[in-house]
Amino acid sequence: MRRIHHRDILTLLGSDASTVDWQRVAQGFAVEFGLRSLILFSIYLINPSRYRFAFSASEWLISLPFSLLLAGYSSLVACLFFYGYLFQGMSCLIPNPVRLITVYGLILGTLQALSVKNPVDWIGAVFFQIFLLWIILKDKRLEVAIGLITAGSFFSYTIWRSVSRPLQTPTILVRSAESLSPVIYLVLAVIEAVLFYVIWFYVIHRDHLRSPE
């Protein structure tokens, strides 16, 4: 970054960033992890037969730091490149914020959903990307995205997994039944996004609410 663009890599976190705001990362992580736990607990209460308890304390505790390291590292790299470097580059080409997050969200969501067959899954992927880009733009910092994505990955590594997932890490629950309807997953994703937005901007950071230019 410094050699090619003559700027510090920390500017990918925000135009005024001189250091990583780890408190913001931790807050984003906590909110997302808490919301995912709440949704999973609600689904489990409705239909517990969908999941099988597979908790092994020794294996789970041993894998815990490695799962956190893997989730954190992969999320940091993805955020700096896709939501920092490329997002800032796209903003130079598309200065209008609404148009920017729509176009770039469609690109990222389509790339994320390349392997899916159901159009509803594609809609869900595009929605998540547009939502994530919007809160980055509104917050004017990247730490919230780092915490949010890290929490999502860490949750799937440690709390629940499907029997068909390629990376089989020790988790507390294993989903043994078929997935829910894609429409239900989309509705849950919208609810989670709304709750995250409200908690982040109107509870945790209500005194520092900033709007995109």
* Residues 118-162: tens digit of each pLDDT: 899 999 999 999 999 999 999 888 999 999 999 999 999 999 888
How confident is residue 208, by pLDDT bands cut at 50, 70 and 90? low
**Structural domain count, the chain:** 1
Domain that holds residue 64: 23-206
In a domain, 212, yes or no: no
pLDDT of residue 126: 97
Residue 4 scores a pLDDT above 50: no
How confident is residue 175, by pLDDT bands cut at 50, 70 and 90? confident
Can you tell me the distance from the alpha carbon of 27 to that of 144, in angstroms, rounded to the nearest whole number? 8
Q: Residue written as tokens 């990376």? A: 167
* 114: its two tokens: 């390349």
pTM (2 d.p.): 0.86
pLDDT of residue 161: 85
In a domain, 3, yes or no: no
φ, ψ of residue 47 to 5 degrees: the values are -145, 80
In a domain, 118, yes or no: yes
Residue 81 scores a pLDDT above 70: yes
How long, in residues, is the chain?
213
Over range 164-179, report the average pLDDT.
79
Residue 99 scores a pLDDT above 80: yes
pLDDT of residue 213: 43
DSSP state of 75: H
What pLDDT digit, counting tens, does each position of 30-74 carry?
999 999 999 999 888 888 888 888 889 999 999 999 999 999 999
In a domain, 11, yes or no: no
In a domain, 14, yes or no: no
Percent share of the chain, pLDDT over 70: 87
In a domain, 130, yes or no: yes
In a domain, 211, yes or no: no
CB 193 within 8 A of CB 134: no
CA angle centred on 56, ends 156 and 71, rounded to 5°? 25
In a domain, 73, yes or no: yes
Higher pLDDT, 185 or 35: 35
pLDDT of residue 49: 81
Residue 82 scores a pLDDT above 90: yes
How confident is residue 6, by pLDDT bands cut at 50, 70 and 90? very low
CB 150 within 8 A of CB 72: yes
Name the average pLDDT for the chain.
87
